[in-house]
Chains A and B, each alone.
Chain A
Amino acid sequence: MYLSKIIIENFRCFGEGDNRFELSLKPGLTALVGENDAGKTAVIDALRFALGTTDQELNRLEDTDFHVRSAEEAKQSSEKEKDQPPEIKITCKFENLTDNQLKSFIEFLTYGKDANDKPVLYVCWTAKATGETRRGRPYRRVEVRSGEKGEGPSIDREVRDLLLNATYLRPLRDAEQDLSSGRGSRLSQVLLKTEEIKSSGQKYNSQSEINREYLESLNVVGIGDLADELLGKQKGVEAARNVIDGHLGTLSLNGSNLRSSIKVSGTTDDPEIRLRQILEKLDLSLAGQGRLGLGSNNLLFMTCELLLLAQEREGNKLLLIEEPEAHLHPQNQLQVIKFLQDQASKDGTGVQIIVTTHSPNLASAIKLDNLVMISGRRPFPLRRGETELEESDYGFLERFLDVTKANLFFARGVLIVEGDSENILLPTLANLLGRDFTRDGVSIINVGGIGLRRYARIFQRKNLQKNTLIEIPVACVTDLDVMPDCAREITGKSLKTKGQLGENGLSDKKKKLIGKTTGQRVKTFVSNEWTLEYDLAFFGLAEDVYVAASLAKVDDALSQRGEIFDQEKFKTEHQNAIEAFKKVETDAKEVVQSGNADGCSFEEVLASNVYALFTKGTKASKPLAAQYLAQSLKEKHENELLNSAYWHERLPKYLVAAIGYVTRTTDGWGEAKEADGKQSNTD
């Protein structure tokens, strides 16, 4: 049996009706990913309340566990509901019960309309504030019932503990404590459940001849018995015991003869209890190591839990792990998640695992089919059939969605860009415009030229219905790749030109590019003119781009020769570049005035000449130039005390619009909205 659906109402951040939390699950591993406060822990805690946990840790319900209606929700709820204190309701649906489980749950089952549907089990946990106080605490009526709406018979605590308890591993747990010996230690439980512990070996018989072979044939209790016997005969122990007995003798009343006994484990004769007591004295640690770090202990601990679960016959094989990344270094994290993924997908074990994580590292290693993004308190499974991703996208993303890109699962806004230059420049440009990607939780995903659209489709839902839209703004930034007519000669590139396409052709091409990857909250922003560097030069940063590209060229040349680009050289080269730009600017003016510019404007000629640094001769490196440009723009902004209005005028419109779009969680800007309207026709 596996948990196939969970519905949470009026619990913490989750409301009721349209605002409730509802998630369908598949067998195997499910990873809940999302930013902090998205509701990941609330989901896990809801399951802990509803099913109970094997560690039997008391889960006291607090006032804060009841959902507080927001003003908007209060508006939606009817008059009658308003007066009622909210009732927490957590519904778990279990499917695919084995015959063995069916027989345990007959009276609680729910049948399908079709006789061929296997019966399912609903567990419905409710908590209602009664307004009464008992023993100084607010009294809440908590019920666990079966039936889809909780209308079935109540499920007793014993039944829940026996058959439904989930295994829960808290974040930042003290694994060492959990693994060490002691009453009810996890290790002793694992060992007790291991069939061979009981079945292998023979009892100790004091009449037998003691040789090595005999010693090795003993069972666990037998080893304990032998140790007891040896300890009883050991001189030192006997001496100590005599001393104790001496004292006992003086203390005991007439007639009662107290005598001490020193044994390995307890004094009971019940072999079951004796076995447990002996096992509880065992510690688990890694072979050949001293004291271990938390990380390795955590690994050991998780292994133990999985071992226990896999052997479970009657109970619920649901394992809840919060933040398994705790204490583990990145490589270990990957190992752990792969291990969990494998264990959960293995046939026969039937173990179901739900993990929460905010580690991009983990998220990148989990198959999209197993990922559920939690955003805006809603779950968005990314498995096949739920997103606009196509079959080939799943294969592609499994290979290419690495840790640097897995940030997108935790972002409040996503910028998907083609290359390094955008990746380097856009955060700086956002700062110039008064926005901050870090503060706004915007992630830039650099796809390195391939699969831009595939990443965007992660955020597009199939069969979009009410409340199933992912509200995260996603901007794809891409190049138009059409050049002005004069650029053919100036840059030596041979793309289609504006003149060749004509006005209609140009707008068609733009529309096509936008249309391909726009829809729901995903929007495509296409460069207004040609490409990033060209557009920057075109709209007002011609000198800055020229200087940055020149410096990049020098930097490259120097480092090839093994020389250092020191402060002195930098100053000279910087000055040289400014001088050179002045000449380029004058030349461009002349070309346009003399009418030899193929119908291009001054800005087009100038920008083409700037862009030529990246295309002709020893080409300037784009990422390197982007770094110099970012640095110089930042300095300019700070030194000259410029405001965002200044930059609004001088930055390419498509970038301004894209930055405005992904950061509009705080507020939007007029231009951005206007640009949105122009750019997108399918919003």
Chain B
Amino acid sequence: MVSNQIPTNLPEVTDDDIRWVSALLGLKANAFYGVDGKDPRQDALKSMETVDIAACPGSGKTTLLVAKLAILAKKWPYQTQGLCVLSHTNAAQDEIESKLGGTAVGRCLLSYPHYVGTIHGFVNKFLSLPMLRSYGFANIHFSNEISGAKLWRLSSNGRELKSYLKENFKKPRDHQIAVKSIHYVGENLDICLKATRSVCLRRISNSSTFKVMNEWKKAILRDGFAVYDDIIAYGQFVLKTYPGIEKIIRDRFPIIFIDEAQDNNEEQAALLHRIFTTDDSPVFCQRFGDANQAIYNSVVSHMKRYS
């Protein structure tokens, strides 16, 4: 089917908007202008391209981000396309709730069609959970503690994997940690165990140990449980299994904001890269992070820096 043309004319941020948001946030009218009127934060607010916005910790990055989101939400012209705001913690979401909670733009930002939340939450909402639901696994809770306990019980307290565990983990007390950590990795849903070291079994190895652990994973999934690390792997699995999903997500979110980008691990960064910035139609990606921490892994090539 021919796709309907999806507009990507992002709204423009004007000086009027910046004054409006300063008032909304209870800041001085020139809060983002500095004394000489040449504040780089002004440029950060106005930029609608792919940029990295780096500043010292504590310099008000999150406030800057919230201000920008408020302006965009107010001027957002689309009903079924939204802003995507990703952070390592729920910092951005909390900030919006506390600073904009009572306002129309605040409520708007936190509901359809926008997304504000953690990367795990995003992958869950738009990739992993719909897939799991389609396969008959509904209402999945991601809990390392409960999942671990269930896995440990299924393994008869480690007896079933005894030789495998001995082989890979020298210290006996690592065995329980390893079994409780059984999780999926990568688009093929390989299985890894993690204690003092990490060991993995490829799905294609088709080994009996893999099969046993895979059955346990499925069993606790049927009960409605999985571990956090599974989320990203499921997300990768969906991208592999249903090619074209990236394009649909990009259509939905023409611009994304990544807060605290320095805290993302490589796997998360790679997944985000795959969803939003590979191929010929990358979306605009603005990353807000600390200047003095190395956070980038060559994902975005054309960046500007403000400091």
List the interface of chain A (C-beta within 8 A of B): 96, 98-100, 102-104, 106-113, 115, 119, 147, 149, 151-153, 156, 158-159, 162-163, 313-314
Q: Which residues of A contact B129 (CB under 8 A)?
A: 107, 152-153
Q: Is the CB of B139 within 8 A of A100?
A: no
B 232-251 contacts with A by CB, 8 A: 238, 241-243, 245, 247-249, 251
Q: Is the CB of B133 within 8 A of A103?
A: no
Q: Which residues of B contact A98 (CB under 8 A)?
A: 1-4
Within the complex, the shortest CB–CB distance from A53 to chain B, in Å, comes to 18
Name the interface size band of chain B: 20 to 34
Question: Looking at the complex, which one of A115, A149, A314 makes contact with B80 (CB distance below 8 Å)?
Answer: A314
B 54-107 contacts with A by CB, 8 A: 79-81
Question: Looking at the complex, which one of A103, A119, A162 makes contact with B6 (CB distance below 8 Å)?
Answer: A103
Within the complex, the shortest CB–CB distance from A126 to chain B, in Å, comes to 15
CA distance A107 to B243 in the complex (A): 16
Q: Known interface pairs A111-B242, A119-B242. Does A103 touch B81 (Cβ–Cβ under 8 Å)?
A: yes
Q: For the complex, is B282 an interface residue (Cβ under 8 Å from A)? A: no
Q: Which residues of A contact B243 (CB under 8 A)?
A: 115
CA distance A139 to B169 in the complex (A): 58
Within the complex, the shortest CB–CB distance from A465 to chain B, in Å, comes to 24
Question: Looking at the complex, which one of A111, A158, A162, A314 makes contact with B134 (CB distance below 8 Å)?
Answer: A111
CA distance A34 to B293 in the complex (A): 72
CA distance A202 to B247 in the complex (A): 39
CA distance A99 to B6 in the complex (A): 9
Q: Known interface pairs A147-B133, A152-B130. Does A106 touch B252 (Cβ–Cβ under 8 Å)?
A: yes
Quick one: closest A residue to B240, CB to CB?
A115
CA distance A109 to B248 in the complex (A): 12
Q: Is the CB of A102 within 8 A of B248?
A: yes
Quick one: closest A residue to B115, CB to CB?
A107
Within the complex, the shortest CB–CB distance from B131 to chain A, in Å, comes to 6
Q: Is the CB of B248 within 8 A of A152?
A: no
Q: Which residues of A contact B252 (CB under 8 A)?
A: 103-104, 106
Q: Known interface pairs A99-B3, A100-B4, A103-B252. Does A151 touch B139 (Cβ–Cβ under 8 Å)?
A: yes
Q: Known interface pairs A151-B139, A159-B112. Does A99 touch B4 (Cβ–Cβ under 8 Å)?
A: yes
Q: Is the CB of A103 within 8 A of B241?
A: no
Q: Which residues of A contact B125 (CB under 8 A)?
A: 107, 153
CA distance A153 to B139 in the complex (A): 9
Q: For the complex, is B126 an interface residue (Cβ under 8 Å from A)? A: yes
Question: Looking at the complex, which one of A107, A115, A163 makes contact with B242 (CB distance below 8 Å)?
Answer: A115
Q: Known interface pairs A109-B130, A110-B130, A156-B111. Does A103 touch B1 (Cβ–Cβ under 8 Å)?
A: no
CA distance A248 to B247 in the complex (A): 63
12 contacts between A and B (CB under 8 A): A98-B2, A100-B4, A100-B80, A107-B125, A107-B130, A108-B130, A112-B134, A115-B243, A147-B138, A152-B129, A158-B111, A158-B112
Q: For the complex, is B113 an interface residue (Cβ under 8 Å from A)? A: yes
Q: Which residues of A contact B126 (CB under 8 A)?
A: 106-107
Q: Is the CB of A103 within 8 A of B112?
A: no
Within the complex, the shortest CB–CB distance from B188 to chain A, in Å, comes to 14
Q: Which residues of A contact B238 (CB under 8 A)?
A: 111
CA distance A410 to B273 in the complex (A): 60
Q: Is the CB of B130 within 8 A of A99?
A: no
Q: Which residues of B contact A104 (CB under 8 A)?
A: 80, 113, 252
Q: Which residues of B contact A103 (CB under 8 A)?
A: 6, 80-81, 248-249, 251-252
Q: Is the CB of B138 within 8 A of A162?
A: no
Q: Is the CB of B130 within 8 A of A106?
A: yes
Q: Is the CB of B138 within 8 A of A152?
A: yes
CA distance A163 to B252 in the complex (A): 14
CA distance A159 to B238 in the complex (A): 25
Quick one: closest B residue to A314, CB to CB?
B80
Q: Taking each of A104, A110, A149, which has the highest tally of chain B beta carbons within 10 Å of its own beta carbon?
A: A104
Q: Is the CB of B1 within 8 A of A151?
A: no
Question: Looking at the complex, which one of A102, A113, A151, A156 makes contact with B138 (CB distance below 8 Å)?
Answer: A151
Q: Is the CB of A100 within 8 A of B3?
A: yes
Besides A100-B80, A102-B251, A147-B138, 16 new A-B residue pairs in contact (Cβ under 8 A), listed by A number: A99-B3, A100-B251, A103-B80, A103-B249, A103-B252, A104-B252, A106-B248, A107-B126, A107-B130, A110-B130, A111-B130, A111-B131, A111-B242, A149-B138, A152-B130, A152-B133
Quick one: closest B residue to A159, CB to CB?
B112
CA distance A98 to B112 in the complex (A): 19
CA distance A298 to B16 in the complex (A): 49
Closest 5 A/B residue pairs (Cβ): A99-B3, A151-B138, A103-B251, A100-B4, A104-B80
B 114-158 contacts with A by CB, 8 A: 125-126, 129-131, 133-135, 138-139
Quick one: closest B residue to A120, CB to CB?
B134
CA distance A100 to B113 in the complex (A): 13
CA distance A108 to B130 in the complex (A): 7
Q: Which residues of A contact B248 (CB under 8 A)?
A: 99, 102-103, 106
Q: Which residues of A contact B247 (CB under 8 A)?
A: 99
Q: Taking each of B6, B79, B135, which has the highest tally of chain A beta carbons within 10 Å of its own beta carbon?
A: B79
Q: Which residues of B contact A314 (CB under 8 A)?
A: 79-80
